[in-house]
Copies of this chain bind each other. A is one copy, B any other.
Amino acid sequence: MPDRLDVAVLGATGSVGQRFVQLLADHPWFRLAELVGSERSAGKRYSDVCDWRISARPPESVLNLPVKHYEEPLQSPIVFSALPGGVAGPIEEALARDGKKVFTNARDHRMDPDVPLLIPEVNPDHARAIEVQRQQRGWREGFIVANPNCSTIHLVLALKPLHDAFGITHGIVTTLQAASGAGYPGVPSLDLIDNVIPFIGGEEEKIERETRKLLGQWDGAKFIDAEVTLSAHCNRVPVRDGHLETVSVKFARHATPSDVAEVLASFRAQPQELGLPTAPKQPVVVLDLPDRPQPVLDRDIEGGMASVVGRIRPCSVLDVRFVVLGHNTIRGAAGASVLNAELFYRQGLL
């Protein structure tokens, strides 16, 4: 793999950082060249400081990579950010100002009026917002592109083809979210043994707001939100990986459950057409078994890059209801940004 582009991962030792490392370790277009961590880790070998929690051991190729400190200069032109919200914002801006192409999973810049909040299957044309972003911010080469919140991504992957086909006006969603969504150490075990928590700080607002931006338009100068009203109830459940969401939606145009199933199952978009390496063959996989999808069985479908939908049936209050499941740290986080970078690569934007 000769001509790969060098990439760096910020926050490489955390939960999402580990997923970035896993997905980039043998990437055909990107070479995982630099890992960046906190003060505690800086200067040491990745395998010595990373409490790797995805499997028994990190990929061979990264074991000996040194971990850099945030203040050290990076040579890679492309940076993936798994930094925690709040911390991420200024660091990512400094890097972009310095010419880096930043693909971030952090929440900080998602709603910025000039930052694309991108899902390649959903709103690939939003990528063009980086031109305005560069202009307005006076950046020459660098930019920031964000992926949405883990719950939003899987919801919107399912909503997008329905919105195009039938026009979604309203939706009510309840999430049953996995522990890994809160990182590590994250949620204390005493909160999730024989228990669920009906609250995740800021999550409901993110789902409601990000969805409107994702389904909306980039008019060349600004984002115009979609007229889609959502109401979200977020819960944490004792599951390792895989967010499950129950969804009821109202359409502008008539649609039966079987219309919905057909539209979802036949959905294909740019990543599939372009053959992006991390793209799932089907962005939305429809299961027609009565009790699926389930996290432990279905979160790894399409390598964790698809959203899995089941139980499509009429809703007596809105129009149709269904269940959607997706892997929260693969398609819901690291895989989302990797796919964003692949889209940019193919479009010649890197």
Which of A22-30, A33-41, A129-137, A188-196 sits within the interface?
A: A188-196
A321, B276: Cα distance in complex, Å: 41
Query: Which residues of chain B come closer than 8 Å to A197, judged between CB atoms?
Result: 291, 294
Cβ distance A25 to chain B, nearest Cβ, rounded Å:
17
Indicate whether A190 sits within 8 Å of B195 (C-beta atoms), given known contacts A238-B238, A317-B231. no
A193 near B317 with CB under 8 A, answer no
A230, B180: Cα distance in complex, Å: 33
Query: Which residues of chain B come closer than 8 Å to A300, judged between CB atoms?
Result: 55-56
Convert A184-216 into 0s and 1s, putting 1 for each residue whose CB lies closer than 8 angstroms to a CB of B. Answer: 111111111111111101000000100000000
A195, B55: Cα distance in complex, Å: 13
Let me know if A310 is at the binding interface, CB within 8 A: yes
A237, B236: Cα distance in complex, Å: 11
Instruction: Identify which of B171, B172, B188, B291 contacts A185 (C-beta below 8 A).
Output: B188
Let me know if A42 is at the binding interface, CB within 8 A: no
Let me know if A156 is at the binding interface, CB within 8 A: no
Convert A286-323 into 0s and 1s, putting 1 for each residue whose CB lies closer than 8 angstroms to a CB of B. Answer: 00001111111110110000001011000111100101
Instruction: Identify which of B174, B186, B191 contacts A233 (C-beta below 8 A).
Output: B174
A186, B187: Cα distance in complex, Å: 10
Convert A229-257 into 0s and 1s, putting 1 for each residue whose CB lies closer than 8 angstroms to a CB of B. Answer: 11101010111100010101000000000
Q: Which of A184, A189, A197, A230 gathers most chain B CB within 10 Å?
A: A189
Query: Which residues of chain B come closer than 8 Å to A235, judged between CB atoms?
Result: 176, 244, 246
A194 near B196 with CB under 8 A, answer no
Query: Which residues of chain B come closer than 8 Å to A229, judged between CB atoms?
Result: 316-317
Instruction: Identify which of B174, B186, B290 contacts A189 (C-beta below 8 A).
Output: B186
Let me know if A170 is at the binding interface, CB within 8 A: yes
Query: Which residues of chain B come closer than 8 Å to A7, judged between CB atoms?
Result: none
B196 near A193 with CB under 8 A, answer no
A193 near B239 with CB under 8 A, answer yes
A176, B235: Cα distance in complex, Å: 9
A187 near B184 with CB under 8 A, answer no
Query: Which residues of chain B come closer than 8 Å to A199, judged between CB atoms?
Result: 290-291, 311
A291, B182: Cα distance in complex, Å: 15
Let me know if A179 is at the binding interface, CB within 8 A: yes
Let me know if A346 is at the binding interface, CB within 8 A: no
Query: Which residues of chain B come closer than 8 Å to A315, judged between CB atoms?
Result: 172, 231
Instruction: Identify which of B201, B246, B296 contacts A198 (C-beta below 8 A).
Output: B246
Let me know if A53 is at the binding interface, CB within 8 A: yes
Instruction: Identify which of B293, B294, B297, B318 contacts A172 (C-beta below 8 A).
Output: B318
| Closest B residue, CB atoms, query A295 | B195
A198, B312: Cα distance in complex, Å: 12
Instruction: Identify which of B172, B189, B194, B317 contacts A191 (C-beta below 8 A).
Output: B189
Indicate whether A193 sits within 8 Å of B190 (C-beta atoms), given known contacts A56-B298, A321-B231. no
